[in-house]
Amino acid sequence: MDALIKPLRAGKAADDKSSALETKGTDLRVPEGRPAQLDPSDYLEAAVRPDQPRPSRDEAEQAVKTLLSYIGENTGREGLLDTPRRVVEAFDELFQGYQQCPTEVLNRTFGETAGYDDFVLVRDIPFTSHCEHHMMPFYGHAHIAYVPVERVVGLSKLARLVDIFGHRLQTQEHLTAQLAAAIDEVLKPRGVAVMIEAEHTCMSVRGVRKHGASTLTTRFTGIFRDNHAEQARFMSVVRGPQR
């Protein structure tokens, strides 16, 4: 995982982008985007409420035994005797993000930035998540940038945020949107850019079985959404030769 803070750059003010995007009398300014249609509980709170009813561990282990029987296995054979317990313990680890609160991760910020006003990029954050359609893993890297206003968050907190949302069931598109929305809502930056590149085992080891195919998703808010030049700069740095 690379943590990259871009240097301050001298250039035209952001307000100049309008004239730069007008060519031969044609207005090419980027239209104002619609706000994200996400439930705040998706990206601000732990997904499991303390009063939410849940099956017991014994019931969860019995469900695993039922699935083993469904595929034709003998759940009484030696190699499978402890499998239900192991699977439930693995679920506790793989889906721990349901118990964790994204807001708490982002709430601690630092004000000693010396007036820094360019974007901060944390690149190549590795993650593994699980698709909500088949409960099969998808994995890859997340790249997150934001333009701070006076205060910045610890770089490890962005990686931690990826871990929280990654350890829940969802689609890659939803994961991308959640990351951008959480940073935008809690940090109130001038803009957020998120790119995720991932391989999905639900299409690489089953179904069409296209091993190596990758999916790329992006989400932009604020200055990254409204200014194509900033989008392009973000993409260029993420894809740059220094990787």
- The two structure tokens encoding residue 190: 């001038």
Catalytic residue among 104, 197, 202, 228: 202
Catalytic residue among 100, 172, 178, 231: 172
Main-chain dihedrals φ then ψ at residue 192, nearest 5 degrees: -130, 140
Catalytic residue among 174, 200, 230, 231: 200
Strand duo 137-147 + 109-110: pairing: unpaired
CB proximity list for 80: less than 8 A, separation 6 or greater: 68, 73, 74
CB proximity list for 150: less than 8 A, separation 6 or greater: 111, 113
| SS3 state of residue 83 | helix
**211: annotated active-site residue:** no
Cα–Cα distance list, 156 to 98, 99, 190 (Å): 20, 19, 20
**132: annotated active-site residue:** yes
CB proximity list for 103: less than 8 A, separation 6 or greater: 44, 45, 182, 186
Catalytic residue among 61, 131, 170, 174: 131
DSSP count for the chain of H helices, then E strands: 10, 10
Catalytic residue among 133, 150, 173, 211: 133
With contact defined as beta carbons under 8 Å apart, do 218 and 203 qualify? no
**134: annotated active-site residue:** yes
**172: annotated active-site residue:** yes
With contact defined as beta carbons under 8 Å apart, do 216 and 77 qualify? no
**131: annotated active-site residue:** yes
Catalytic residue among 132, 150, 173, 211: 132
Catalytic residue among 134, 141, 197, 199: 134
Instruction: List, by residue number, the catalytic residues.
Output: 131-134, 172, 200, 202
